[in-house]
Amino acid sequence: MALREILTEPNKLLREKSLAVEGVDEDLQKLMNDMLETMYAAPGIGLAAIQVGVPKRVIVLDIRWRDKSESTSDEKQVERKNPMCFVNPEIIAKSTNNSIYEEGCLSVPGQFAEIARPDKCHVKYLDYYGQPKEFVAEGMLATCIQHEIDHLEGILFIDYLSKLKKSMIVKKLTKQKEQLDRIVI
Ligand code: GNR
Ligand code: NI
């Protein structure tokens, strides 16, 4: 496994449409393992392949579930890893009800905004082994899957904000990048 570099806005690659994967082979499984390692290290709860510069329709997620049954006197919660991989994910149905979550994105560092999205979605995909699967995501998981599938279309959560808010964020990120470039030189 290896850590990969996460691209940040503004970056043309993040606006590219990712291509469907033909089938799951060892190389693609290695990509998914690297993406999970990169996501955990960030840390984040989801990652699309294009965020590490690979324009393939692959996403990984881990909405860690906290196990309260094992809580100690300190009400510590046991966090278990629950990695999920989705190849060629497609939303085949979504609810008309929306829910609002505060979203962030590893490609839009330090920026957060409340975004409304359908609160349930039915997703069709290939799993880590290339097996066709379907499931219904709800709540935070539904938001996260839609956020990741947006990446495959070159869409970022800031695209849902007003022009003014979005341009302020992009300006900030551009400045940050220019400052980083100066330090590197
Ligand atoms: O780590 C992440 N947190 C998050 C929070 C709310 C909604 C979506 C996300 S996904 C994000 C990681 C990321 O950028 N995935 O593309
Ligand atoms: Ni993101």
Give the long-range contacts of residues 52-56, CB within 8 A, separation 24 or more: 52/4, 52/5, 52/6, 52/7, 53/4, 53/5, 53/7, 53/13, 55/13, 55/16, 55/17, 55/18, 55/19, 56/18, 56/19, 56/21, 56/28, 56/31
Query: Is 148 an active-site residue?
Result: yes
Please tell me if the CB atom of residue 141 comes closer than 6 angstroms to any atom of ligand 1: no
Residue 100 tokens, joined: 């609002």
Residue 100 CA to ligand 2 center (angstroms) comes to: 16
Residue 38, C-beta contacts closer than 8 angstroms, at least 6 positions apart? 3, 4, 6, 47, 52
- Tens-of-pLDDT digits for all 185 residues of the chain? 899 999 999 999 999 999 999 999 999 999 999 999 999 999 999 999 999 999 999 999 998 765 555 555 555 667 788 999 999 999 999 999 999 999 999 999 999 999 999 999 999 999 999 999 999 999 999 999 999 999 999 999 999 999 999 999 999 999 998 888 888 76
Residue nearest to atom 14 of ligand 1 (CA): 105
Which pLDDT value is given to residue 65? 61
Domain architecture of the chain: domains with CATH: 12-181 (3.90.45.10)
Q: What is the model's pLDDT at position 64?
A: 78
Tell me, in angstroms, the distance from the centre of ligand 1 to residue 11's CA.
18
Which of 35, 106, 151 has most ligand 1 atoms within 8 Å of its beta carbon, as the pocket-test mutant? Answer: 106
**Rounded distance between C-alpha atoms, residue 138 and residue 143, angstroms:** 8
Three-state SS string over 8-32 comes to CCCCHHHHCCCECCCCCCHHHHHHH
Cα separations in angstroms, 6 against 31, 46, 52, 63, 120: 13, 12, 5, 19, 28
Best residue among 5, 45, 85, 151 to mutate for probing ligand 1, ranked by most atoms within 8 Å of CB: 45
- CA 103 / ligand 1 centre spacing (Å): 6
Is the pTM higher than 0.85? The answer reads yes
